[in-house]
Structure 1
Amino acid sequence: MTDITLRQLEYFLAVLDRGSVSEAAKECRVSQATVSAALAQLEKKLKVTLIARGPARRARPTSAGREFGMHAREILSTVSDAVESLNDESSLLQGPLRIGCIPTAAPRMLPGAASHFVRRHPQIDLSFVEAHPMTMQQMVLDGEVDVAVMYRKQIQIEGITRHDLADVQLHALVSADHPAASKDGVDIAELIDDPLILLDSPPTADLLVSQIRGVGYEPTVRWLIPNAETIRSMVGWGLGFSLANAVPHPDTRTFQGMPVRYLPVTNPEFANTIVGATMAGARLSKKLTAALDILRRTASETDPHRWNDADEPGRVKG
């Protein structure tokens, strides 16, 4: 059997994830020479090039490197699970855990989840990555994240298992002086004559436009903008309305300090679910099960229906 060490696999995956030997060395707290030597030894033993060195010292996986990387992650995960199995106390969970999230849900989900992990599982080496829905799904399939947070309707790639975290209700974002701003909810028909400003994060905009057409209306999309904060400011200026599943605290204002309103969309066709996405067939380790439990708790604590009931808005309890 080829003599390969777990440490070599760890350094290889660090290079894969960080994109350079220098960044991998920082993450692993060793010298660049140590990482380079381990990678060279690994490639020599496998008799294949795993990493292609590009300009500006960037490191990209070859096709063989991507394939081997998937198996290497499974190996390290299995070893980590074996160590965990020796202790029944979930508080002693340890090892790396990488959580991915789409940018729009990240402010809602990641800070609270991080707080829970730091307090309840301090030995977990936790890291986060944000990416658009299609990229995030591919990262799940490639084993680059252990679990990814996104919306059920965004998942369009085979090979992913969905774990429901919470139901979500679509909200319309309108300016404070919009005719519907004082309402407790709004039908999409009440907004259809206004220009629509949507998030440019495939497939989000296409899904929303398709859903609006599905209830018999043709939206007028004024702009596609990749930043949710910019969209909120555009709406604050009265330049259109937007649609969002992630709803901040009611006191949230635009960058310029303008108030806005998030109104529940009453059309049942727009109901969705926030999910934790994992690779199909992947075993749910104690660590991954704990992650899903914490993400469900965080989703519950940031449910917009609970904002008015919170003693300390935005603060995770327990």
Structure 2
Amino acid sequence: MTDITLRQLEYFISVLDRGSVSDAAKDCNVSQASVSSALAQLEKRLKVTLIARGPARRARPTSAGREFGIHARSILSNVSDAVESLNDESSILQGPLRIGCIPTAAPRMLPATASQFGRLHPQIDLSFVEAHPLTVQQMILHGEVDVAVMYRKQVQMEGITQHTLAEVQLHALVSADHPVADRAGVDIAELIDDPLILLDSPPTAELLVSQIRGVGYEPSVRWLIPNAETIRSMVGLGLGFSLANAVPHPDTVTFQGMPVRYLPVTNPEFSNAIVGVTMAGTRLSKKLRAALDILRTTAADTDPHRWREQTAP
């Protein structure tokens, strides 16, 4: 395998991530011809087609390319870790770091994380991917992201290690004129007769319905909606209530400017945690440790209990 070089693997992975040879060339700061030549040499050596060229010169991996990409990422990651291990005394972190996140947690976690990295580790090439829980787990297992943020009860796949970032409390989202709107907390039994509007992001709705049934109630699910902002607007209009682990600032209103209320659900059965997940067996490099530390700080800074304390009279 002496004909295969790390540079070829680097260009190949860049094409996978960027979706075209031209974008990969810009990312790697080389010419398109260099990337194309490296890909051709790699495919010739392996005797398989790794990249299929589609319309508008877009590049998509073949089945062989996807499989090889998993191993190529692992090789590059191991080499990076090996180099890093020789420089453990250095406080400077650099190179790429890919963070995945479920859409409901992204507004809470990603902006402050990006800001912290920019301030503390400006030489890190940080990138983000938002995807549904099942997808981000697949991306972890395929080496497409280094760490992903989700909720503990959403983790369903083998081969993943969980790192607790913060405990979370489920909240009920109700309209500002709902009978329980001014309460400090609510039992799920007090809302069970209302229509329920849930986020359509598997397995989120299924898990919540199962938990409600587990405490002895049958929810009346009115709609499954893929957008949290749309759900907030529907609740603001009094069309039902919803449930969420991600709680925005108390001043948040709907798209139409209507106030809503997020009330802690007091049933202990609904406890959960926000976690960072990595591929099982992966060495926690300095970059990954820094990422987990920053994610924990972000989770603590956006804890809804802190906001309630800050806004209390």
TM class, shorter-length: over 0.9
1:122 is matched with which residue?
A: 122
Shift of 1:137: 0.7
* Structure 1 unaligned regions, length at least 5: 312-318
| Distance in 2 (alpha carbons) for counterparts of 1:226 and 1:26 | 34
SS of the residue aligned with 1:232? helix
**Cα deviation 1:35-60 (Å, max 9, x = unaligned):** 22221111112222111223343322
Alignment of 1:243-262 (within 5 A): 243-262=243-262
1:105 is matched with which residue?
A: 105
Alignment of 1:81-92 (within 5 A): 81-89=81-89, 91-92=91-92
**Cα deviation 1:86-145 (Å, max 9, x = unaligned):** 333563011110000000000000111111111111111110000001111111110000
| Distance in 1 (alpha carbons) for counterparts of 2:105 and 2:172 | 16
Root mean square deviation, CA, Å? 1.5
1:145 is matched with which residue?
A: 145
SS of the residue aligned with 1:91? coil
SS of the residue aligned with 1:23? helix
SS of the residue aligned with 2:91? helix
Taking structure 2 as the reference length, what is the TM-score of the superposition? 0.95
Shift of 1:242: 0.5
Is residue 2:72 matched to residue 1:72? yes
| Distance in 2 (alpha carbons) for counterparts of 1:280 and 1:117 | 24
The answer as to whether partners of 1:109 and 1:298 remain within 8 angstroms in 2 is: yes
Alignment of 1:207-218 (within 5 A): 207-218=207-218
Judged with a 3 Å threshold, the aligned counterparts in structure 2 of structure 1 residues 29 and 233 are, in CA distance, closer, same or farther, namely farther
Taking structure 1 as the reference length, what is the TM-score of the superposition? 0.94
Shift of 1:310: 5.2
1:182 is matched with which residue?
A: 182
- What letter matches 1:260 in structure 2? V
- What letter matches 1:234 in structure 2? M
1:301 is matched with which residue?
A: 301
Shift of 1:157: 1.3
Shift of 1:77: 1.3
| Distance in 2 (alpha carbons) for counterparts of 1:77 and 1:190 | 51
The answer as to whether partners of 1:254 and 1:260 remain within 8 angstroms in 2 is: yes
**Cα deviation 1:1-49 (Å, max 9, x = unaligned):** 3322222111111111222223323332333332222211111122221
- What letter matches 2:264 in structure 1? P
| Distance in 1 (alpha carbons) for counterparts of 2:111 and 2:298 | 9
Is residue 2:172 matched to residue 1:172? yes
| Distance in 1 (alpha carbons) for counterparts of 2:185 and 2:303 | 16
SS of the residue aligned with 1:251? coil
**Cα deviation 1:242-278 (Å, max 9, x = unaligned):** 0000000001111111111000000011111111111
Instruction: Give the percent of matched residue pairs that are identical in Structure 1 and Structure 2.
Output: 85
Alignment of 1:1-318 (within 5 A): 1-89=1-89, 91-309=91-309
**Cα deviation 1:153-191 (Å, max 9, x = unaligned):** 111111111111111000000010000000000000111
| Distance in 2 (alpha carbons) for counterparts of 1:164 and 1:57 | 42
Q: Which moved more, 1:271-280 or 1:82-91?
A: 82-91
- What letter matches 1:188 in structure 2? I
* Structure 2 unaligned regions, length at least 5: none
The answer as to whether partners of 1:90 and 1:286 remain within 8 angstroms in 2 is: no
Judged with a 3 Å threshold, the aligned counterparts in structure 2 of structure 1 residues 187 and 308 are, in CA distance, closer, same or farther, namely closer
| Distance in 2 (alpha carbons) for counterparts of 1:47 and 1:268 | 57
- What letter matches 1:228 in structure 2? A
